[in-house]
Structure 1
Amino acid sequence: MTERRTELADRLARVEERISAACEAAGRKREEVTLIVVTKTYPASDVRILAELGVRHVAENRDQDAAPKAAECADLPLTWHFVGQLQTNKVRSVVNYADLVHSVDRERLVDALSAAAVRAGRRLDCLIQVALDAESGSVAGRGGVSPDGVLALADALAAAEGLGPAGLMTVAPLAGPYAGRPRAAFERLMEIATDLRAAHPAANMVSAGMSADLEDAVAAGATHVRVGSAVLGVRPRLG
Structure 2
Amino acid sequence: MSARKAELAENLARVEERIESACVAAGRKREDVTLVVVTKTYPASDVRLLAELGVRHVAENRDQDAAPKAAACADAELKWHFVGQLQTNKARSVAGYADFVHSVDRPKLVTALSAAAVRNGRELGCLVQVAFDVESGDVGARGGAAPDAVSALADAVAAAEGLRLEGVMTVAPLTGPYAGSPGQAFARLREISTRLRAAHPAANMVSAGMSSDLEEAVQAGATHVRVGSAVLGDRPRLG
- State the TM bucket, normalised to the shorter chain: over 0.9
CA deviation profile, 1:167-225 (whole Å, cap 9, x unmatched): 00001101111000011110000000001000111110000000000000000000000
User: In 2, Cα distance between the equivalents of 1:38 and 1:119?
Assistant: 27
User: In 1, Cα distance between the equivalents of 2:237 and 2:65?
Assistant: 14
Paired letter, 1:179: A
Match of 2:139 in 1: 139
Residue correspondence of structure 1 range 29-178 to structure 2 within 5 A: 29-178=29-178
User: In 2, Cα distance between the equivalents of 1:26 and 1:140?
Assistant: 30
Following superposition, the deviation at residue 123 of structure 1 comes to 0.4
Q: Does 1:215 align with 2:215?
A: yes
Secondary structure of the structure 2 residue equivalent to 1:138: coil
Match of 1:202 in 2: 202
Following superposition, the deviation at residue 25 of structure 1 comes to 0.5
User: In 2, Cα distance between the equivalents of 1:22 and 1:79?
Assistant: 24
Following superposition, the deviation at residue 137 of structure 1 comes to 1.5
Secondary structure of the structure 1 residue equivalent to 2:36: strand
Secondary structure of the structure 2 residue equivalent to 1:202: coil
User: In 2, Cα distance between the equivalents of 1:3 and 1:91?
Assistant: 37
Following superposition, the deviation at residue 238 of structure 1 comes to 1.9
Secondary structure of the structure 2 residue equivalent to 1:35: strand
User: In 2, Cα distance between the equivalents of 1:4 and 1:165?
Assistant: 37
Secondary structure of the structure 2 residue equivalent to 1:96: coil
Following superposition, the deviation at residue 103 of structure 1 comes to 0.2
User: In 2, Cα distance between the equivalents of 1:225 and 1:190?
Assistant: 14
CA deviation profile, 1:71-128 (whole Å, cap 9, x unmatched): 0000001000000000011111000000000000000000000000000000001000
Paired letter, 2:20: S
- Which consecutive aligned stretches of 4+ in structure 1 deviate over 2 angstroms post-superposition? none
Secondary structure of the structure 2 residue equivalent to 1:84: coil
User: In 1, Cα distance between the equivalents of 2:23 and 2:8?
Assistant: 22
Following superposition, the deviation at residue 159 of structure 1 comes to 0.9
Paired letter, 1:11: N
User: In 2, Cα distance between the equivalents of 1:36 and 1:158?
Assistant: 24
**Consecutive unaligned residues in structure 2, runs of 5 or more:** none
User: In 2, Cα distance between the equivalents of 1:35 and 1:103?
Assistant: 17
**Consecutive unaligned residues in structure 1, runs of 5 or more:** none
Paired letter, 1:122: R
User: In 1, Cα distance between the equivalents of 2:10 and 2:238?
Assistant: 25
Between the two proteins, what is the percent identity of the paired residues? 78
Secondary structure of the structure 2 residue equivalent to 1:126: strand
Q: What is the aligned residue count?
A: 239
User: In 2, Cα distance between the equivalents of 1:24 and 1:159?
Assistant: 38
Paired letter, 2:100: L
Paired letter, 2:174: L
CA deviation profile, 1:29-64 (whole Å, cap 9, x unmatched): 000000000000000000010000000000000000
Q: CA RMSD of the aligned region, Å?
A: 0.7
Match of 2:2 in 1: 2
Secondary structure of the structure 1 residue equivalent to 2:14: helix
Paired letter, 2:76: L
